[in-house]
Structure 1
Amino acid sequence: MFPSDRFTLVERYAELLATEGVVRGLIGPREAPRLWDRHLLNCAVLGELLPQGATVCDIGSGAGLPGLVLAIARPDVRITLVEPLLRRTAFLEEVVDGLGLDTVEIFRGRAEELHGQRRFDVVTSRAVAPLERLLGWSMPLVAGSGALVAMKGSSITEEIEAAQDVLVHGGCGVPEVIVLGEGLLSSTTVAVRVPWADPTRVSWPLAVSRSPGAKNRPPQNRRKKRRPA
């Protein structure tokens, strides 16, 4: 799941999650012993759904799951981590700088602040919100030929049913539920992929909306520039 020359990076990331991540409240103490099965490997298999050289936006990135895992597993993609909380973005900055992940940028703010400003090939998330709400945050960031690709649980079928009106009125294509990691993981990963129904007619109702605090303020990249060695 990880290139051989990147395995040291994911090991270091796992160590940071199990130490600083727990101390800062980003990972529960009970999760530390099962980081690989329940978090790192489960996120890594999502890389199968990323096109070569894709631009990826990970909303509600938290401790960097799945965004940082994908950045390590897929060095060919460029990833934007979107996270509103300062203590979480501070941790993300430290990990990105410490591991030298030059393909990652961090935006401290909400996904809505990027609506109408940025588009990505893939917009991903993990345990952020039910699909009905997630569509409103994610689809305005999806490029015409791109897709929402979210990690979900066993209730995804019910979530799709509940989101039917939003899917239809938003011009979305038919959601595809994909099971990843069969035969590889002790617990498989369930993902849902939602493309646009017509890539040439992308007109999500929230595409130019902004959060109230961002009305007259352009989004800023909060990623600090790395000093040259």
Structure 2
Amino acid sequence: MTQEPAQEGHEAPGTGARDAELGASAAVRAYLGAAYDKVAGFADLLREQGELRGLIGPREVDRLWERHILNSAAVVPFLPQQGLVADVGSGAGLPGVVVAMMLPSVEVYLVEPMERRTTWLQEVVDRFELANVQVKRGRAEEYHDAFEADAVTSRAVANLAKLARMSMPLVRRGGEMVVLKGRNVAQEVPAARKVLRGFKAGEPEILEGTTVERVESTTILRVRRG
């Protein structure tokens, strides 16, 4: 999913300009490397159409890079560099589209049940010629017997217990669930342990995903299927 919970109050004047400056900065260009042009193009498209198409909230338009693009990019170092990665509840393509752009050697499945979102995702795939991406319309549960991924990721989809029930059947044995979560994810672990044990999963790791200076790090939970 893509839309973060709305925060109280209004953004300070100039927030959009600062976010655009961040996106064009040398630090972000260096971090994204060869993927920069495509990721920046995706960010521009999301800024132009995201609110209109119900993909992001109005308060998110002026902080796309910090809150969404770089937040998504932070998961990439924890994903395999080859094989298949599935993004469950892909929404606007966060993190799945960013992952696919940064890891062109990885096959990426964008799993999303809503038609208007899969329409958007396919438009993005076609526009940026993402030959390593397939859009899969449907709920994660509908694909439990369809494929097994080396890693399954997601962003702001569900609590950990529910997410494990959705995602772990898509993970091959020895593969991992690598998800972007909130700061309080440790509180979700006890309630999820029974579900995780059913997949012979190991103890979840809570990791810090960093991108560039002065951008808040991302909390990532990783757990391997036994």
What is the correspondence of 1:1-229 to structure 2 with a 5 Å cutoff? 1-4=31-34, 6-181=35-210, 184-196=213-225, 198=226
CA contact (8 A) 2:151 2:177 kept: yes
CA contact (8 A) 1:42 1:185 kept: no
Report runs of 4+ in structure 1 exceeding 4 Å deviation. Answer: none
Deviation at 1:54, TM superposition (A): 2.7
Question: What is the alpha-carbon distance in structure 2 between the residues aligned to residue 21 and residue 183 of structure 1?
Answer: 24
Q: Normalising to structure 2: TM-score of the pair?
A: 0.83
Q: Normalising to structure 1: TM-score of the pair?
A: 0.82
1:136 counterpart letter in structure 2: R
Give the unaligned 5+ runs of structure 1. 199-229
User: Percent of aligned pairs with the same residue?
Assistant: 45
Output the aligned Cα RMSD.
Answer: 1.3
Does the residue aligned with 1:139 lie in a helix, a strand or coil? helix
Give the unaligned 5+ runs of structure 2. 1-30
Deviation at 1:182, TM superposition (A): 6.7
Question: What is the alpha-carbon distance in structure 2 between the residues aligned to residue 90 and residue 73 of structure 1?
Answer: 22
Question: What is the alpha-carbon distance in structure 1 between the residues aligned to residue 152 and residue 214 of structure 2?
Answer: 24
Compare the two structures and name the one with the higher helix fraction.
2
Deviation at 1:185, TM superposition (A): 4.9
Question: What is the alpha-carbon distance in structure 1 between the residues aligned to residue 108 and residue 220 of structure 2?
Answer: 18
CA contact (8 A) 1:149 1:194 kept: yes
Any idea what the Cα deviations from partners look like across 1:158-178, whole Å, max 9, x if unmatched?
000221222223321110111
Does the residue aligned with 2:51 lie in a helix, a strand or coil? helix
CA contact (8 A) 2:73 2:211 kept: no
CA contact (8 A) 1:82 1:110 kept: yes
